[in-house]
Amino acid sequence: MASEQRKKYDSEFKTGAVKLVLNGQSLSEVARDLDLNRSMLARWKREYLKDQKGSFPGKGNLRPEDEELRELKRRLRDVTEERDILKKALAIFSKQPK
């Protein structure tokens, strides 16, 4: 039994489909003409209306705010690790010899 491959659509296709809906064609009509699921096209429309420039960034690409969040989390992890190392070093060097 062969597994079904999931269809992949590039950002230009998604944007074009959404623009057809925004230009007055019905969602159902565009979905039928492009052989898309109506709910998927509705989701694309919501994403596009929410953030036109950042919508459909593509595989491996992040929106600017997501990229900033990733960078801040990485920096926090690094600083936390440095702090923990310094705490351990302080504990080692502050022990009084007997």
pTM: 0.55
Q: Which of 62, 42, 63 is nearest to 51 (CA)?
A: 63
One DSSP character per residue, 53-79 reads TTS---TT---HHHHHHHHHHHHHHHH
**Residue pLDDT, tens place only, 60-87:** 666 777 788 889 999 999 999 999 999 9
Q: Which of 16, 59, 17 is nearest to 36 (CA)?
A: 17
**Residue pLDDT, tens place only, 45-67:** 988 888 777 677 666 666 777 78
CA gap 74, 83 in Å, rounded: 14
